[in-house]
Every structure is written in C-alpha cells, then in structure tokens.
Amino acid sequence: MATAIYPGSFDPVTLGHVDVIERAAAIFEHVTVLVSVNLTKPHFFTITEREGYLRRAVCGIPNVTVTSHSGLLADYLRRSSASIIVKGIRAISDFEYEFQMAQVNKVLCETARTVFIPADEKYTFLSSSVVRQVGLLGGNIDTFVPNCVASDISAALLRRAVLTEG
Ligand code: PNS
C-alpha cells in the first residue's frame, strides 16, 4: 500500500485529527501529515508551532511522519510522487467543501486521489477553532487535544489572550 498525505491547518492539532491519523495509519503503509497553509483562514499558531505539536502528538505511531509545506498541495504531491490525499470527515456538512477540494486537486495534479475517512462520532463537535476559543477564554482543553501537548497549547493560548487584552 502507498503513502498517503494528510494535509491540514492543524491550528492546533485536536484529538479528532489524531483519530483520523490513526485510522489512516492502519490502512496505508505510510502517512505523511502535512501542515499546510489555508488562505481562507488566518492561522493562530505559526507553522513551526503547529508542526511541533503534531509531531509530539503522533510520535508513538511508527508509520507516521510530520512535515510542512507553504505552497499548493498539488505541487507537493507531484514533487513527492504521492497521489493519495486523506481528508477527515466529521459530518456530512464537511463533505461538500472537501469534495470541491478533491476535484480542484485532481485538476491541478492529474494523479491525485482523495480518500475520505470519517472521524469517530465522539469528535463530531471538535475543531481547532473550538480549542482556540475555549483555551483563549481560560477553559479546560484537556479533553480536546492530545494529553502530551495539552498544557503547552493551553499556556500558549492564555499567553496570547493576555497579550491581546493588554
Ligand atoms: O485544516 P484545513 O484548514 O481544513 O485544511 C485545508 C488545507 C490546508 C488542506 C487546504 O487549504 C490546502 O490544501 N492548502 C494548501 C494550498 C492548496 O493547495 N489549496 C487548494 C487549492 S484551492
């Protein structure tokens, strides 16, 4: 089985992302988690921070690596000779946008094929934006993000909340 690329903003990584990574790692020989830019959203954490949190979150999964890319996913696919893109789907409402993206990527890179992996239903509500909002307002994010990075993400969010207030 081939290498699959799992691209996303991961701003920051959530337990829902890790669930999709684990599922993909059980299907594909290798999974590359690709921290990418999404021009439709302002990113809160830097690409280096996002990559660092992710790397710590998946260090126990042997066939998963983490890297980053600041250009088009299609260009990354061409350069790495990979063709499979993994996308996690939390609810049917995710599908319309992801289906459009799958088509765009196929137009930009003819060999690209997108595989949709449903996240566990217990993560349907969970998103990076929920983590940011709860954490910035001083709430507990321990059940939203991997244990090994929870206190660092929480501290980083609180630091920035204080800076913004000041
Ligand atoms: O976690 P997200 O924000 O839903 O992930 C979206 C992401 C980063 C996978 C998507 O925006 C992306 O592929 N970005 C790389 C640039 C690109 O190729 N965009 C698609 C062409 S419109």
Pocket of ligand 1 (CB under 6 A): 7-9, 36-38, 41, 72-74, 104
Instruction: Specify the ligand 1 atom closest to the Cα of 76.
Output: 18
Question: What band does 160 get if pLDDT is binned at 50, 70 and 90?
Answer: confident
Question: What band does 44 get if pLDDT is binned at 50, 70 and 90?
Answer: very high
With contact defined as beta carbons under 8 Å apart, do 62 and 68 qualify? no
pLDDT tens by residue, 61-91: 999 999 999 999 999 999 998 999 999 999 9
Nearest CA, atom 4, ligand 1: 8
Query: Average pLDDT, whole number, for the chain?
Result: 96
Q: Which of 32, 36, 75, 98 to mutate to test the pocket of ligand 1 (most atoms within 8 A of CB)?
A: 36
The CA 165 to ligand 1 mean position distance, Å, reads 31
What is the C-alpha to C-alpha distance for residues 72 and 80, in angstroms, rounded to an integer?
Answer: 13
Give the number of C-alpha atoms closer than 13 A to the C-alpha of residue 159, restricted to the C-beta side: 8
Q: What is the dihedral of CA 51, 53, 47, 111, to 10 degrees?
A: 40
pLDDT tens by residue, 85-111: 999 999 998 999 999 999 999 999 999
How much is the average pLDDT of 110-132? 97
**pLDDT value at position 100?**
97
